[in-house]
Amino acid sequence: MILTYNVLCDTAGTQGIFTPKRHLSNMIVSLLQPLSIVEDAGFQAFVDAIKKPGTLIPKETFSIRKDLLRMYNKTRQKVEQSLALAHDIVLTAELWVARAEESYLTVTCHVIDREWNLNSYVLETTKVLGEDTSVDIDPVLEAMLRKCQKIVRFFHNDIEAEKKLKEAQLQQQLPHHGLIQYVGDGWFSCFHMLKRLAEQYMAINMVLSQRQEFDLCLNGSDITKASSAVAALQPFKDVTEEMSQRCKDISNNQQYYLLSNSIPLVEELQTKISKEQRGNDVANHLAKQCKIHFGDLKKSQRLVLTTALDPRFKNLILNVNDSESANHFLTKLLKDLKAISSPLIVSSDVPNLVQLLKQYSEHSSIPEMENPLAWWRFEGSVKFKDLSRVALRNLGVVSTAIPLDRAFHETDKMFYSRRSCLEPENINIILFLNSNYTP
């Protein structure tokens, strides 16, 4: 039996229970809001505001939209003023799907201000035409993933089976961990699902056999495939977590990943994957895909220059016997010095440039978890003034279209669900204000 709650069914005698807390609970139920809304800073500020005597809450969307437009115009002026002071601006674009057959493109700009802080501003969100496509995965692996999803769904939907699983875990002396469902197309949840199933397969098979669900039992081949996939994806998980750590305290408002991290991180990823390739078809496939998509990053002039100007990773370019990378670095450096009309180029002061590069390359690097922009602000801009302008021009380039905290943290994924529910006519205004507005 499905029980439903309807406010209209309450009798006059029960109206006394409608305290503010009950009204809040009713709003959560009727609007399908998560319980975490009560912890949201914006919601708490709204509640505090309506406590004031004489506060009127608008009952028409027109009034709210009019106020949003005022906020939008005022905030846009502030963003334009900030961008007018910037020498170099980087643009990123995110293509995302709101609902069936509705795709949007959100353009964000990134600038380094005078105090060497990375600031990001959402500029525009517009609807685009076209179909979203996905890459097919190996049919055998896909079949195994579907089977794993069915297993997790079976235990999640059967309270008795879940109880038996806990008993089996105790009997098999396994960790008392629940099963994790793989949803959407995110590989993070896929990794955690497979890792948990590989850990708990003995207890899982015991319960499934007792319930005569033999088709769902994990055989030796399933376990091998799951374990291989976990081993192949583990380097990606490690590198992703490292990415999240490296981008902390660099951006003022959101965690974007600097392009200068790309070469060291991809090299680390490729090294870790190569260790898993022997006898692991999944790792071999991922290694080939990495080679196809990444190629040799040190052949890119921009990547080489950006990496060399990052005081954490400069030794990967400047102190390595790699003539090709050195040529790429010098070629791009000279182009940028010319673009900013540096005295080193205008006066053809080659000896001073050579001496400057020698001093910079010999200067000690900083730890990987430190902020390279802060180093350039307090030390680099003083000791290597002519290089600092080029660093300002290049270190503002980010390598991800969205902030990493939104991409991989489960608590932040609610942003995407809420974004997909916005009315098409309000998407641009609300996303702009969400990124840029400060009360």
Q: What is the DSSP string of 253-271?
A: SS-PPBGGGHHHHHHHHHH
Which has more confidence, 250 or 372? Answer: 372
The token duo for 281 is 């078809």
User: Based on the domain organization, do 306 and 339 belong to the same domain?
Assistant: yes
The confidence band for 439, taking pLDDT boundaries of 50, 70 and 90, is confident
Amino acid identity at 35: L
Any idea which of 80-84, 105-109, 126-130 has the lowest mean pLDDT? Answer: 126-130
- What is the spatial distance between Cα 129 and Cα 135, in angstroms, rounded to a whole number? 20
Section 365-387 average pLDDT: 93
DSSP 377: I
Question: How sure is the predictor about 96, in pLDDT bands with cuts at 50, 70 and 90?
Answer: confident
Based on the fold, state whether residues 385 and 251 are members of the same structural domain: yes
Whether 24 and 110 map to the same domain: the answer is no
Element (H, E) at 109: strand 102-112
- Residue 10: the pLDDT is 47
The reply to whether 223 falls in a domain is: no
What pTM does this model have?
A: 0.76
Domain membership flag for residue 403: no
The upper half-sphere exposure of residue 230, i.e. CA atoms within 13 Å in the direction of its Cβ, equals 14
Q: Does 227 fall in a domain?
A: no
- Number of domains comprising the chain: 4
Of 218, 250, 279, the position where a domain reaches its end is 218
Buried b (16+ CB within 10 A) or exposed e, 208-230: beeeebeebbbeeebbebbbbbb
Residue in 166, 154, 167, 168 with CA at minimum distance from that of residue 213: 154
Between 52 and 249, the more confident residue is 52
On whether the CB atoms of residues 268 and 418 are closer than 8 A, the answer is no
Are both 413 and 379 inside the same structural domain? no
Q: Is the pLDDT of residue 428 over 90?
A: yes
Q: pLDDT tens across 52-93, in order?
A: 888 888 878 888 899 999 999 999 999 999 999 888 899 998
Last-in-domain residue among 218, 245, 265: 218
| Residue 207 sits in the same domain as residue 266 | no
The pLDDT of residue 130: 60
* Tens of pLDDT, residues 146-177: 899 999 999 999 999 999 999 999 999 999 99
Q: Which of 156, 162, 74 is nearest to 432 (CA)?
A: 74
Measured between alpha carbons, how far is 205 from 184 in angstroms, rounded to an integer?
26
57 assigned to some structural domain: no
Do residues 370 and 377 make contact, with C-beta atoms less than 8 angstroms apart? no
Q: How far is CA 153 from the centre of its chain?
A: 27
The CA-atom distances, in angstroms, between 357 and each of 10, 78, 150, 323 are 79, 38, 59, 15
Calculate mean pLDDT across residues 369-385. Answer: 93
pLDDT tens-digit series, residues 175-222 = 999 999 887 656 778 899 999 999 999 999 999 999 999 999 999 999
Which pLDDT value is given to residue 279?
86
Same domain, 378 and 246: yes
In a domain, 402, yes or no: no
Query: Are residues 118 and 159 located together in one domain of the fold?
Result: no
Categorize the per-residue pLDDT at 410 as very low, low, confident or very high, splitting at 50, 70 and 90: low
Tokens (6 digits) for 166: 């806990």
Query: 14 with 113, same domain?
Result: no
Query: In terms of domains, do 241 and 368 share one?
Result: yes
Q: Is residue 400 part of a domain?
A: no
CA of 370: how far to CAs of 246, 251, 366, in Å?
A: 8, 13, 7
Whether residues 249 and 383 share a domain: the answer is yes
Q: Domain containing 164: what range?
A: 139-218
Co-location of 318 and 194 in the same domain? no
Distance CA 219, CA 187 (A): 23
Domain assignment of residue 250, yes or no = yes
Same domain, 99 and 40: no
Q: Is residue 290 part of a domain?
A: yes
304/326 Cα distance (integer angstroms): 8
Instruction: List the single range of 11-15, 198-202, 327-331, 362-366 with lowest mean pLDDT.
Output: 11-15
